[in-house]
Each structure stands twice: as C-alpha cells, then as structure tokens.
Structure 1
Amino acid sequence: MTPSSSITVRIPLAIRSRGGRKLVVTPDGSSGMPLSRTRADPAMVKALARAHRWKQLLEQGRYASLSEMTKAEKIDRGYLGKMLRLTLLAPDIVEAILDGRQPSHIGLPALLRSVPSMWDEQRSMIARSAVAPH
C-alpha cells in the first residue's frame, strides 16, 4: 500500500444513551458489553421505586384520589398515570431492569408509552421492538 492510499471500513452501529452513559449498539441490538458488567439504569430504577411508592400510598389510603395525590406530591396527573402503569410490569421485566439486563433498546421513555397490562403482551412488545428499526 502506498502512503496516499487509504482503506475505508464501515461498521453499522448506533450510539445510545443509557444510565447517563453512551453505549455502542450493534445491529443485532447487543451493546457489546459482557453481562458481568451490567449496570442498572438509575432513571429506570428511580421511576420504578417512585411508581411503587405512589401506588402504596394510594392503597394505604393516604390519598383519597389521584387528584389529591397530584396536588400533595406536586406532580402532573398525566405523568402520575404513566408512572403508575410501571407497577403493572411483569416481574421478570422489573427484575431485568433492576439487574441492568433489560434490552438496550428499552429505556424509560419506551416504558412510559402505552405498555400492555398483560404480561405476555409486554414480553411480546419488547421482543418485537428489538427487531424494529430504532
């Protein structure tokens, strides 16, 4: 090879933010990070904790209604509704999030969108979104 010749290498990948860090994601959806180095997404863990806390406060009768809770907790009603839906996630999905093992394409914004209440449908939705273009 002469000094003026060059080689161009193209590698398909995407760069995603996760837990405040940037990850390189390959076309098959893997981040290339070994499983032993997983780290839970702090935003997702915090959202799950808040959702379960708010659900518990409602169940204990601390607040008589969602409206009362939104005023006392100073949160938007729509946001509260989305957050409370997180308490309906399948246990294995919650465990994967807490262990940092959820698919790299699943972040908090995806979970705050319409998530089915049936656990099998949640798993299917996550599996389908893994093969959909991002």
Structure 2
Amino acid sequence: MTLLVGSTVAADRSDPSLVRLVAKAWALREALVSSKAPSLTAFAAEQGVSQSYATRLVRLAWLAPDIVEAILDGRQPAGLTASGLMRDTHIPLDWQEQRKVLGFV
C-alpha cells in the first residue's frame, strides 16, 4: 500500500510483528483491568508464555496513545521493532520520555 504525502509517495511501513505485539499488550491490559486474569502470573500460565514475557509485554500496554497510533498506522521510526521493544526493559512510564527513548522526537 502507498500513501500520498504532499507531492511524494510514502510506502506503508506497517510492521505486522509490531502491530501484533501492541495488540497482545492491550489484550493483557484489558484482562488485568477487567479482572478476567487475576494476576500476571495467571495470565502467563493461561496464555502458555513465561512470566518474564508477560512482564515485558505488560509494559507495552501503557505506551503513549500517539505511539500506539503511529505503530498501527506504520509510522513508527525505522529502527523500532517488536524484538527491540521486548528487549528494552527501561521504557519510561512518562509519555514524553517514551517518545524520546523510542525515537518519535
């Protein structure tokens, strides 16, 4: 898919792995907030993933809304990948800091 941007054409850079990761993070958030999952440990067991993976995933459920939107629209920085997000254990909670750390500003 291509998008017209001004007088140039930009390729859709949507990353399916990154989109899936954000979707999984939001599903985890919903399960925890709605009490469908009594704990992160229970969620991990139910999903067949390690507690470490679930812990890394839950951090992504609180990304700034504009970061999530950019990822879903394929407008993330070129170096932002699903594996990179899962490796980074120091994503700040502050949305402005998230934008800096993840390359959105």
Q: CA offset at residue 34 of structure 1? A: 4.0
Please point out which of 13, 18, 22 is paired with 1:48.
Answer: 22
Please tell me whether residue 65 in structure 1 is matched to residue 39 in structure 2: yes
Q: TM-score, normalised by structure 2?
A: 0.81
Q: 2:60 aligns with which of 52, 67, 86?
A: 86
Extract unaligned runs of 5+ from structure 1.
Answer: 1-32
Q: Is the 8 A contact 2:28 2:61 kept in 1?
A: no
Q: How far did 1:58 drift?
A: 1.3
- Structure 1 outlier segments of 4+, above 4 Å: none
Number of residue pairs aligned between Structure 1 and Structure 2 = 96
Q: 1:71 to 1:126 in 2, by over 3 A?
A: closer
Q: Relative to 1, partners in 2 of residues 1:127 and 1:50: Cα closer, same or farther, differing over 3 Å?
A: closer
* Partners of 2:18 and 2:81 within 8 A in 1: yes
1:126 Cα deviation after fit: 2.7
Identical-pair percentage? 34
Please state which structure has a larger fraction of its residues in helix.
2
Match of 2:101, as an amino acid? M
* Higher RCO (C-alpha 8 Å, min separation 6): 2
Aligned to 2:91: 115
Q: What are structure 2's unaligned runs of at least 5 residues?
A: 1-7
* Separation (CA, whole Å) in 2 of partners of 1:62 and 1:95: 25
User: Which of the two has higher C-alpha Rg?
Assistant: 1
TM-score (norm 1): 0.65
- Tell me which amino acid in the other structure corresponds to 1:122: Q
